[in-house]
Amino acid sequence: MQDKKIILYHANWSLCSQMVRVALYEKGIAFEEIHIKLCDQYSEGENLNKSFLKINPLATVPAISIDDNIFIDSANIIKKLNTIDGSNELDLYPVIEPDSNSIIRDTTITEGTKFASTIGTIIPVFSAPLIQFMIKKLPFKSIIKILFKHPRRDRKIIFISMYFFNFSKKLPMIGIKKFVDELIKFENLLSNDNKYFYSKFSHVDINMMCVINRLKDLQLEECINTKYTPKLKKYWENLKNRESYIKAILNYYSKKEFDVIDEFYGDKRSEFLNHILKEIEQRN
């Protein structure tokens, strides 16, 4: 059983933080947690504070301390967690296949992966208008903090551009065709006989649980529930029935997240949903 001291540094709405939390709950691993208020959502910008930059110089979450050893990047963290015996007997890598690592990489936000080239890296593209909406609500002093303290030039440029300009408003349009490619590919990879991607719940399912849930946040869940994606629809229902979906994802939504979604979308659907549905229909 677990005899390690584990501290998770995470953010409620961070996609990769959600993935690591799901892994922790699935494995039954006890952990302490420290919530980091990210600079694109909160004026505090705690990920830019010296104390956190000592933990992760890249200023990103999640980061995890395991017996005072720090690990970053959700895929690497989950691999490490899989080596720890929690209260649940679960191997998150039940199938060893040449393509399994690439599927895991394609379903998360992987550093070094080409922009909007996988289902995981398309999610930030679809999220961009909502992120810009939050950034524009920040006080000017928070933007100054990002300008001078953010260690990553790419993030710094994106956040500052979002604050002063509206370049992200139509950004999701560039990802629609590739997103549909990825949906169809995943639909074809799923088996009619399996509840999950493989016969047992695995790291791939963790990633997809968080990816599809983010589509739900972005008012795009309907693209999973079409007559052309029956296996994806069934797959999503199975993922939502996992206890970890409630404990690691839904239970971490605060009033702030709900208020942002309500204020941004109101009672309207995403303006990009019809474009995606039309593209799916054209492929069938």
Q: What are the chain's domains?
A: 6-81 (3.40.30.10), 100-282 (no CATH)
Buried-state track 144-156, b at ≥16 Cβ within 10 A, e below 16: ebbeebbeeeebb
Six-digit token pair at 212? Answer: 């599809």
Average predicted confidence (pLDDT) for the chain:
95
5-58 pLDDT tens trace: 999 999 999 999 999 999 999 999 999 999 999 999 999 999 999 999 999 999
Residue 97 pLDDT > 70: no
Six-digit token pair at 219? Answer: 């008012």
Distance CA 229, CA 42 (A): 37
Q: What is the DSSP string of 182-236?
A: HHHHHHHHS-SS-SSSSSS--HHHHHHHHHHHHHHHTT-GGGGSSTT-HHHHHHH
Residue 82 pLDDT > 90: yes
For residue 98, the model assigns a pLDDT of 61
Among 138, 159, 148, 190, smallest CA distance to 53 is for 148
182 neighbors 229 (Cβ within 8 angstroms): no
In order of 82, 106, 247, 272, the CA distances from 260 in angstroms are: 34, 28, 21, 18
For residue 78, the model assigns a pLDDT of 97
pTM for this structure? 0.96
Cα dihedral value 22, 35, 84, 249, nearest 10 = -10
163-181 pLDDT tens trace: 999 989 899 999 999 999 9
> What value does the mean pLDDT take over residues 237-260?
97
Residue 116 pLDDT > 90: no
- pLDDT tier at 99 (50, 70, 90 boundaries)? low
